[in-house]
Structure 1
Amino acid sequence: MEHYFTDNRHLKENRKEITFRFWCFDYSFITDNGVFSKEAIDYGTQVLLKTICEREELGERILDLGCGYGPVGVVLKKIYPTKAFEMIDVNPRAVQLAKENICRNQLEADVHVSNIYEDLHQESYSDIITNPPIRAGKAVIYTMFEEAYQHLEVGGKLWVVIRKQQGAPSAVKKIKDVFGNCEIIKRDSGYYILEAIK
């Protein structure tokens, strides 16, 4: 089954501009066919962003895992301009859009194609942030959780947004098995924000 967490450049283009206001900033994004939530910034991502910003706990090197067209990396880079952001996705179309959206919003980040953690540019990260691609299946998502541990510095955090009905309880159990801890730090309209610390 085809989904957005794949190389789908053969899909017909249908680019559109969407806008998003978060805190006191306005953002502009170009989206397209074959990327997640192309019509608007999805509610789960909004809850994730709000939770992270309210806690003000990001470290210095952040990995936006499965960045899509870039809403998480773009918004957080604007709010935390001194932090180093690396944004990766397996989908080349999404990565191209993310690069354009970083530029549209007059920001800088390292944006490139990587199949999960296969081609990272840093040895370790203070934070790994993901809205995991549910349609890609449990094997992909659990690999994201399992391998996050080795790519985090000591004290580094994994941040995950996932809906209860799409496997949040089992995700909590899996992350606890890997990290030894996993806290549900926010619940909102069926979305759980999870935090695990290395």
Structure 2
Amino acid sequence: MVRHNVEHYYSEKQHSVLTEKTLDVTLFGARLSFVTPSGVFSFGHIDKGSLLLVEAVVLENQRVLDFGCGWGFVGVIVKKRFSGCAVTLTDVNERALHYAATNARKNHVSVHVVKSNLFSGLHEFDAILVNPPMHAGREICYSLIEQAKQHLSVGGKLYLVALHNKGGAMLEKKMNDVFGNVQTAAKKGGFRVYVATNQ
């Protein structure tokens, strides 16, 4: 039997019953609280890849995009760590956007939360941070990398985290093909943070 209209965390609208779980954590010297909803990536826990991503970046007074923000973990942490940055959080999932905005307020950070399908309606950034939706397929991830380059300032960086042996190596190669460079900024537990510079 073929199943149609299957709901994913990268679907625009979530129709499943909403369940919430609150996470209280201390990270980078700050006590933080996040409300996480069902139907959104990393429900009820902090994703190890996303944590490695925020550990790997150093961003000062930059325009930063948290692409595919989910419930806002990466964007909120970046704004907490680097308060001089102008941080935008974007997702196609409307439930994710609601909770990203809620978690920004809950943790007393000022960020811009905007709905976007890939990069539609977005402008230029100095850093784009992404934990890509691997289950959406290779072509979506490739398109993400290609479009990211078009939305980076000269010298701007794309930071992408993935499991190296579960598609990450493929994305690393694509980043090198698109940008002409790629480096590994961090690695832990099978995850790697790849960084490419728009030259």
TM-score clears 0.5: yes
Show structure 1 runs of 5+ residues with no match: none
Say if 2:49 and 2:191, in contact at 8 Å, map to a contact too. yes
Give the TM-score normalised by the residue count of structure 2. Answer: 0.93
User: How many percent identity over aligned positions?
Assistant: 36
Q: Secondary structure at the match of 1:160?
A: strand
The CA distance in 1 between the partners of 2:166 and 2:78, in whole Å, is 25
Task: Using the TM superposition, give the Cα deviation of residue 169 of structure 1 relative to its aligned residue in structure 2, in angstroms.
Answer: 1.1
Equivalent of residue 29 in structure 1, options 5, 25, 34: 34
Alignment of 1:73-92 (within 5 A): 73-92=75-94
- The match for 1:157 is 157
* CA–CA separation in structure 2 for the residues paired with 1:89 and 1:182: 25
Distance 2:105 2:61 in 1: 23
Equivalent residue pairs, number: 193
Q: Give the deviation of 1:19 after TM superposition.
A: 1.7
Q: 1:165 & 1:2 partners in 2: Cα distance?
A: 26
* Runs ≥4 residues deviating over 2 A: 56-59
Quote how far apart the aligned CAs of 1:165 are.
Answer: 2.5
What are the Cα deviations for residues 113-133 of structure 1, in whole angstroms up to 9, with x where unaligned?
Answer: 11110122xx31100000111
Structure 2: which 5+ runs fail to align? 1-5
1:61-106 deviation line (CA, Å, top 9, x unaligned): 0011000000000011011112101100000000000000000001
Choose from 10, 16, 30 the match for 2:15.
Answer: 10
Contact 1:58 1:127 in 2 (8 A): no
Query: How far does the alpha carbon of each residue in 1:141-166 deviate from its partner, in whole angstroms, 9 at most, with x for none?
Result: 11110111110000000000000232
Counterpart of 1:72? 74
Give the Cα–Cα distance (whole angstroms) in 1 for the partners of residues 60 and 120 of structure 2: 23
Matched residue, 1:170: 170
> Could you list the per-position Cα deviations for residues 27-67 of structure 1 after superposition, in whole angstroms to 9, with x for gaps in the alignment?
11111110111111111111111111xxx245510011000
Amino acid of the residue matched to residue 162 of structure 1? A
Partner residue in 2 for 1:105: 107
2:61–2:84 CA contact under 8 A, matched in 1? no
* AA matched with 1:132: P
Give distance in 2, aligned partners of 1:153 and 1:17.
36
CA distance in 2, matches of 1:143, 1:2: 21
Q: Is the 8 A contact 1:90 1:114 kept in 2?
A: yes
- Give me the CA root mean square deviation: 1.2
The alpha carbon displacement at 1:139 in A equals 1.4
Instruction: Confirm whether residue 47 of structure 1 aligns to residue 52 of structure 2.
Output: yes
Give me the whole-angstrom Cα distance separating, in 2, the residues matched to 1:34 and 1:9.
6
